[in-house]
Structure 1
Amino acid sequence: MVYKEINKQTEKNPDFFQSFRHAIDGIITVYRDERNMRYHTLIGVIPLVLAWFLNVSALEWIMLIFCIFFVILMEFLNTITENVVDLIVDHKYHILAKKAKDIAAGSVLITAAFTVIVAGIIFIPKIIDLLVMNR
């Protein structure tokens, strides 16, 4: 009995629902604090609407959704990196802190560029077909 009480007090999250609440808090924090996350989410809606209008295949839907979530995931990792670096350097300039933050931001940019390429591969032929049919 004593072991259970001591163990319960030292557990990080005593139950699944508390872990879930912490995860939701993290998502809310990123959306509240990070302007770019809100932009990525809004911009991510554009290809979804376009996919609906252009009647893309199931595989194309999967690729688009994967790419959008990949960009959002990279933005989460970028935010984590920025916060940890700021904590370590106490918001003071350090060249290694700048490099870490720049690299993390670059990963988001590369992922977003990849997403645009995938969207182009999916949408450009469909848009061309649509334009040719309407002539």
Structure 2
Amino acid sequence: MKDNRFVKGRLKSVEYSIKGAWKLVTSEHSIMVQFGLGVAVTIAGFYFNISATEWMLQIFAVGLVLAIEGANTAIEKICDFIHPDFNPKIGFIKDIASGAVFFAALSAIAVGCIIYYPKVAALF
């Protein structure tokens, strides 16, 4: 008899991942904003008919920001669970995690400017 535990385990992992992504998008305001921006640049990509390479860069940039923001949210939740009161060391950890989001967002902004500035400038 074939062992299906591996496949079932992977499917269960995907289920948990989808639940986690849904929780992020429906409960975390920063993710809501960034997800909305991702939808906006996706619409812009169709409008401006961006190239396959531009799509890859845009998808990667949006995914990177959402992934790092998700990790930041998880770190913040863990910190709040471990030490609910103010603690400078916990604050330092949270600031570093937030800084990672900042770097990802700056990179995504740069990608967006490289892709869209010439297209928007050509309209004027």
TM-score (norm. length: structure 2) = 0.85
Counterpart pick for 1:110 among 95, 98, 103: 103
- Structure 1 stretches of 5 or more lacking a match? 1-7, 9-13
Cα deviation 1:89-130 (Å, max 9, x = unaligned) = 1x1111110011111112112211211111111111122223
The yes-or-no answer on 1:15 pairing with 2:13 is no
Matches of 1:16 and 1:61, distance apart in 2: 28
Q: Which residue identity lines up with residue 19 of structure 1 in the other structure?
A: S
Matches of 1:110 and 1:69, distance apart in 2: 14
Matches of 2:20 and 2:72, distance apart in 1: 14
Counterpart pick for 1:77 among 34, 48, 71: 71
Q: Which residue identity lines up with residue 72 of structure 1 in the other structure?
A: L
Q: Percent identity?
A: 28
**SS of the residue aligned with 1:56?**
coil
The yes-or-no answer on 1:101 pairing with 2:101 is no
**Aligned pair count?**
118
Matches of 1:56 and 1:29, distance apart in 2: 31
Counterpart pick for 2:34 among 36, 40, 48: 40
TM-score (norm. length: structure 1) = 0.79
Counterpart pick for 1:30 among 24, 27, 34: 24
**Structure whose alpha-carbon radius of gyration is higher:** 1
Matches of 1:106 and 1:76, distance apart in 2: 13
Matches of 1:87 and 1:40, distance apart in 2: 25
**SS of the residue aligned with 1:130?**
coil
The yes-or-no answer on 1:127 pairing with 2:120 is yes
RMSD: 1.7
